Structure 1
Amino acid sequence: MPNRSSDALFQLIKSLEKSEKRNFKLYIKRNSASEDLQSIQLFDALDKMEEYDEAQLLKKSKSLKKQQLSNAKAHLYREILSSLRLIRQEENIDIQLHEQLDHARILYNKGLYLQSLKVLDRIKENAKEHNQITFLLQVLFFEKTIESLHITRSMQDRADRLTAEVDEVNDHLRLVSTLSNLSLQLYSWYIRNGVARNEKDEIAVQEFFETHLPADLSGCTGFYEKLYQYQSFCWYAFIRQDFLLYYRYTQKWVDLFEKEPFMLGIETAHYIKGMHNLLGAHFDLLNYPKFIETLRQFEEFSHSAIVTGNVNNRIQTFVYLYISKLNKHFLDGTFTEGLELVPYIEEKLREYWIYLDRHRILVFYYKIACLYFGSGDYERTIDYLNKIINWKVDLRTDLQCYSRLLHLIAHYELGNYGLLEYLIKSVYRFMAKMENLSLVEEEIFRFLRKSFNLSPDRIRPELEKLLEKLKKYEKNRFETRAFVYLDIISWLESKVRNVPVQDVIREKYLEGHRRG
């Protein structure tokens, strides 16, 4: 993965499509000045670079002096955004409403108060139709300003009606703010820590959730109140590993868009995230038929104009669609077949590297490592796990811990016993420090330490003992995370039976499919 450039202008130019670049140059030429022609030279120089290099940039832009560069870049940045606004204004309801609000302000500044009020009335209707309550509040405050400064005679009970409208919008906004804050805080907790590791974690999350959840949810009548309510319950359930509750609220989340399909074009990213979580819920519940059906729907959606015509939607859909495609191979035990996805995923990670957050990249690396592990390629497993272990990040401590544990098991499979003694101590210390040691992990470490002193004929009985012990923890809610991140039961069964781990998982899938 290349180093990320922090230069905002460079990132913006690299995000432009061919049509947008062409439009920018036409826009500049229509408004040409010496400064703008210099902007085109700067634009071309940056566009040709693979990575941002200021020294190289100054060498290519001979008319620019170093002390001018900062201002020139700021000017170019503004010009690009202005050109994009002209061609993208029809795509977003918020951009349309902003433009209409600008028109109302221009009319007001011209002293045309009644015309301004007519525009504001149209904005209100448009905002209500599209659930844009923050715009409603802006419009209402503008209307109040006009009514309080000018005698418009537009309506006899204007003051009472405006006051009532503002109070109603404020009530909705308070609920949206409270629930969106709760959703964000719970998601942030998960990104930092992963799922609840013990009873202490669960109590802390439960207390936070119950303290910040509005006592009366009957006021959740609008789209956004429901969206953030469902998201809050979704994260709460997932952190506690209550997969059934997680499924119920992810389904409600997605169904919200089915009931108001026009919101798909307004809040596409929320729909994409909802589909990702619905697929995750089916995966966690091992509900293969519904997983496949939802995956089919999501892939179909990925080809829609809503996705293909928007860079952000394309990237987010790629991330969640391919995480689910990898999960499919984990469910049905086709690990070797799943490796065919890796080159394409790697290509897309390179293509989207300036957009992707570190968390998503770590998840891909871990899942690819698991794919190689399930296929029996332990060398490649270690390569991908090293990408996680050597990447110093302060999020998903659970992913960091399980990467180290799988790394340890891969070295065990390769027979790297000289390295194992050091690794066992190192990984155990790391997981203990992160408070990430469960009973399952303690048992695994106990077995690995003991294995050094066991003769080959005694290994299998000890593996069988470990398997029996761990099976007792499968229904323990605080131990399930060990089985979610690493199918340790199937790995042990493969060792006991001396068959590849993907064969064991494939057999379980086929048996479940026959019963289903």
Structure 2
Amino acid sequence: MSNWGKDWLFILIKSLTRSEKRQFTLYVNRLQNNADAKFISLFNAMDKMEEYDEQVILKQKITSKQQLSNLKANLYKAILASLRMNPSKKNVRIQIREQLDFATILYQKGLHKQGLKILDKAKQIALDVEEKSLALEIIELEKVIESQYITRSITGRADELIAQSNDLIIQNYYATKLSNLSLKFYNEMLTSGYAKSEEDKQELITRFSDQLLDIDVKMLNFREKLWYFKAHVWLCFLIQDYHNAYKYAKLWVTLFYEHPKMIQSHPIWYLKGNSYLFKILLLFKSVDKYIYWNAKLEEQLALESFPQSMNIDSQRFLLQFSNKLNIEFIQQTYNGSLLFVKQLQRGLNEYVNMIDEHHFHILYFKVASLYFGYKKYDDSLAYTERILKNSDYSVQEDLLFHTRILSLMAQYESGKDQHYEDFIKANRALMKKMKNKTQIHDTFMSLFEGLLGASVKDQKLVLERFVKETEELYTNRFYVRSILYIDVLNWAKKKIV
């Protein structure tokens, strides 16, 4: 998995489009001073690089080694300032913030009426798109100006601002509390993993419920409802209550369809809501519902009005190709075209610095599983290797374990088992370091250890014993995620036949 390295300035420059680069050059040329000439030289030098190399810059004598860090920092700020001026990059938050800045300038010049007029328009936009933190900030400046610019309507105006302020304080309190709760349970999943027993489940539910005691659901508007649904989705994922996870993920997505303008204002959360909805439908293997909700998503994405940016486009790419793969897993026909995998790889190359490593691994694992389903074992091994060579034991241990299990299955099927024994030992070593090891992990490993070196007759006995031991485990809902992409039990049954 190639990338542009870890230099933030270099990554930012490489992410720029041609028009953005041209705009930056025009922006710097307007400033016209010697320091900005160095900006352009450094910018051009880094733009021509395939990989960041500090020595190339120093050889061109653009600046000294001592001054390079400072010049890079200033160039970074200048690029951001240029992007901020680009109308196509101005989402609604930037537009509101810009109007707030303009009003502040007018206030400082003593032009109170003009400042208040701008603030009133900006506040209405902020309220319309549920940017209530910004709306409250605008009201605070309105109160400052009104307290210094006395008019005949000050009494009524004061009451209006106080009422708006109090209402927003309550709404922002709810949003903050719910967003904190959502983040806390998301972090819980990353650090401690999913609930593995009824005791874990009840402890999480109690902690969650305690945080909602002072939340009046009837008082929640769009933004607060969004956080409310998100928090419940995370809880349900943690306790592996997928029926309620479906309920709240569906409410999350439906909330956007009930307020379609919010899709334009908050496209990332619209995409994320769909992502969680599809994860649950994949667990349920609900192909009809999956296709229904995917059609609604694609209808929105096809609209010219759907927002675009590198961040949005990368998330959109992830979701659309995940859906293609997931539908294959649900239907399990494994007789279609695999051309979209090449399109997927091109997209991964394009968004390499916009997508985190974990999502790369998830997609590689899905592709490896897909190739295994198509009995293309060499291709499956190639994609498992992409994960294994880029991972370590500290990154998504469960994904790493199942990647190794899939690799063992592909090695077994392909006959390329010369490193089979070493691979099994490495997997056992991984298991010893796993923080969230379960019985199903041990059962999977025991299967492949039993198959190692066994005769054909003995292999059948090993497989039969595995099937008997594992069928009961597969009824445990806390293990449902472990069989999502690689159904080892079904594979073992087919080997017996």
TM over 0.5: yes
Matched, 1:279 2:278: yes
Query: What residue is the counterpart of 2:37 in the other structure?
Result: 37
Partners of 1:341 and 1:132 in 2: CA distance: 38
Q: 1:53 is matched with which residue?
A: 53
- Tell me what 2:67 maps to: 68
Q: Following the alignment from structure 2 to structure 1, what is the Cα–Cα distance between the partners of residues 310 and 296?
A: 20
Tell me the secondary structure at the aligned position of residue 85 of structure 2.
helix
Hey, what's the Cα distance between the residues in 1 that align with 2:328 and 2:183? 31
**TM-score, structure 1 length as denominator?**
0.88
Distance 1:277 1:465, change over 3 A: same
Structure 1 residue ranges without an equivalent (≥5): 498-516
CA contact (8 A) 2:195 2:238 kept: yes
Corresponding residue of 2:184? 185
- Which residue in 2 is equivalent to 1:128? 127
Residue identity in the other structure for 1:363: I
1:300 to partner: Cα distance: 4.0
1:404-425 deviations in Å (ceiling 9; x for gaps): 2223333343456664444444
Q: Which amino acid aligns with 1:2?
A: S
**Shift of residue 317 of structure 1?**
0.6
Distance (Å, rounded) in 1 between the aligned partners of 2:92 and 2:98 = 10
Residue 141 of structure 2 is matched in structure 1 by: 142
The share of aligned pairs that are identical, in percent, is: 35
Larger mean Cα displacement after TM superposition, 149-158 or 308-317: 149-158
C-alpha distance in 2, partners of 1:205/1:386?
Answer: 36
SS of 2:223 mapped into structure 1: helix
Root-mean-square deviation (CA), in Å? Answer: 2.6
Asked if the contact 1:378–1:410 (Cα under 8 Å) also holds between the matched residues in 2, the reply is: yes
* Equivalent position SS for 1:56: helix
Distance verdict in 2 for CA 1:152–1:364, change over 3 Å: same
Determine if contact 2:286/2:330 at 8 Å carries over to the other structure.
Answer: no
CA distance in 2 between partners of 1:38 and 1:245 (Å): 58
State how 1:2-401 maps to structure 2 within 5 Å. 2-60=2-60, 62-88=61-87, 91-192=90-191, 194-199=193-198, 201-306=200-305, 309-335=308-334, 337=336, 339-390=338-389, 391-392=391-392, 394-401=394-401
In structure 2, the CA distance between the partners of 1:161 and 1:415, relative to structure 1 (3 Å rule), is same
Which digits, 9 at most, give the CA deviation of each residue in 1:74-99, with x for residues without a partner?
23222222222222377411112112
Measured after TM superposition, the shift of residue 484 of structure 1 is 1.9
Distance 1:344 1:485 in 2: 21
Contact 1:10 1:52 in 2 (8 A): yes
State the shift of 1:101 in Å: 1.1
**Is the CA contact 2:253–2:274 (under 8 Å) kept in the aligned structure 1?**
yes
TM-score, normalised by the number of residues in structure 2: 0.91
- Choose between structure 1 and 2 for higher RCO, CA contacts under 8 A separated by at least 6 residues: 1
- How far apart in 2 are the matches of 1:245 and 1:311? 33
Q: How does 1:465-504 map to 2 (within 5 A)?
A: 465-497=465-497
Q: How many aligned residue pairs are there?
A: 496
Partners in 2 of 1:400 and 1:190 — Cα distance?
Answer: 16
What residue identity is the alignment partner of 1:457?
Answer: K
1:138 shift after superposition? 0.6
Contact 2:58 2:65 in 1 (8 A): yes
Contact 1:194–1:396 under 8 Å retained in 2: no
Q: Which stretch has the larger CA shift, 429-438 or 478-487? A: 429-438
Query: Residue 46 and residue 453 in structure 1: after superposition, are their counterparts in 2 closer, same or farther (change >3 A)?
Result: closer
Given the superposition, is the C-alpha separation of residues 352 and 452 from structure 1 closer, same or farther in structure 2, using an over 3 Å criterion?
closer
Q: 1:437 to 1:109 in 2, by over 3 A?
A: closer
Alpha-carbon distance between aligned partners in 2 of 1:496 and 1:476, rounded to the nearest angstrom = 23
For residues 25 and 68 of structure 1, the distance between their equivalents in structure 2, rounded to whole angstroms, comes to 22
Contact kept, 8 Å, 1:175 with 1:225, in 2: the verdict is: yes
Kindly state the Cα deviation for residue 461 of structure 1 after the two structures are TM-superposed.
4.6
Give yes or no for contact 2:89–2:309 (8 Å, CA) kept in 1: no
In 1, Cα distance between equivalents of 2:106 and 2:36 = 31
Match of 1:514 in 2: none
**Following the alignment from structure 2 to structure 1, what is the Cα–Cα distance between the partners of residues 228 and 336?**
39
Q: Counterpart amino acid of 1:138?
A: E
Alpha carbons of 1:194 and 1:318: their partners in 2 closer, same or farther (altered >3 Å)? farther
TM-fit CA distance, 1:392: 2.4
In 2, Cα distance between the equivalents of 1:459 and 1:398? 26
The aligned counterpart of 1:440 is: 440
Note the residue ranges of structure 2 that are not aligned, 5 or more in a row.
none
C-alpha distance 56-462 of structure 1, shift in aligned 2 (>3 A): same
Shift of 1:153: 3.9
Matched residue of 2:474: which SS?
A: coil
Q: Paired residue for 1:504?
A: none
| Amino acid paired to 2:121 | R
